[in-house]
Amino acid sequence: MHIRYLGTGSAEGFPGVFCQCPACEAARAEGGRNIRRRASMLIDGALLVDLSPDLLVNSLDGKVDLGGLQYLLITHIHAAHFYVSELKNLRTPYALGADRERVGVFGGAAVRTRMELVLGAEEMERLAPFLYFEELKLFEPHPLGPYTVTPLQARHGKGAFIYLIEKDGRALLYGNDTGFFPEETWDYLTGRHIDFVSMDCTNPIHSDTQNHMTLEDNITVKRRLFQQKSASAHTRYLATHFSHTSGLLHRPLEERLRLYGIGVAYDGLEVEV
């Protein structure tokens, strides 16, 4: 699997749109890997995890062609991860060119409800030739072409998923948005080998919510995956989904996480799994 991080920031982005805190001012001044758009990941140019409101900018900056998109996997319905109005751009006259297969939208029941609420019945009918929806059930593997996707319980409000994504004997754990994994998720992962772990680190230093993870949570996740034989010495770990509230830019984050064998994702990073 070829993975590209399109966005690695939390809901407000980094720097925050209206924020003037020292971290946001420094990120604006330094630019580069300190600029983090809302979280999204593209796999093999075909599978998009979450529909960010920054998708157009990400595709332009990274010269990413989304014309071959086949599957859209939604973790939860918060607007930073499911910008429903963007779906309109899948149909004519907004998307022209060669004939293509319909794009599949996959997620929990709340994803369909959200689509119907935002788009309305008439727009859903217009979109029918261009997309379809399939509901996923917790802990039930679901085929998506060459992929097998299993929704796991997240700690991020009702209906939120994280995902185990498998292809050609390789496995990716997409672990954001979530706090420390619920026990049901740990039970499912026990004994299942994971090659790559992408995990939430919204609040590296401190956390005022159970819905996201800290650096200490990341360390514990890594240790527990190894202890329960879900990971090996070859498993790679990257933290993502960072908020400006930690006050940490990219380089200080790298320095802290490197000590524990955890990398720091950034917008545009490409990884082979």
Tens-place pLDDT, residues 107-144: 999 999 999 999 999 999 999 999 999 999 999 999 99
Q: State percent of the chain over pLDDT 70.
A: 99
The pLDDT score that the predictor gives to residue 205 is 84
Which pLDDT does position 210 carry in this prediction? 81
Residue 101: Cβ within 10 Å count: 11
**What pLDDT, in 10s, does the model give residues 216-234?**
999 999 999 999 999 999 9
Mean pLDDT of 152-180: 95
In the chain, the percentage of residues whose pLDDT exceeds 90 is 88
- When pLDDT is cut at 50, 70 and 90, the band that residue 62 belongs to is confident
Which tens digit of pLDDT belongs to each residue from 251-268?
999 999 999 999 999 999
Residue 140 burial by Cβ neighbours in a 10 Å radius (0-12, 13-18, 19+): exposed
Residue 188 pLDDT greater than 90, yes or no: yes
The residue written with tokens 């498993």 in the block is 235
Among the residue ranges 6-20, 27-41, 56-70, 123-137, the one predicted with the least confidence is 56-70
Provide mean pLDDT across the span 170-196.
96
pTM above 0.85, yes or no: yes
Question: At residue 183, does pLDDT exceed 80?
Answer: yes
Find the domain containing 72 and state its range.
2-272
Output the domain CATH number for residue 52.
3.60.15.10
Partners of residue 263 on adjacent β-strands: 238
> Coil, strand or helix: which one is 40?
strand
Structure tokens, 115: 């689509």
Q: Give residue 69's pLDDT.
A: 95
pLDDT over 80 at 207, yes or no: no
CA-based nearest residue to 73, from 48, 39, 37, 108: 48
pLDDT higher than 90, residue 204: no
Res. 206 pLDDT band, cuts 50 70 90: confident
For the segment 146-175, the average pLDDT, to the nearest whole number, is 96
Number of domains in the chain: 1
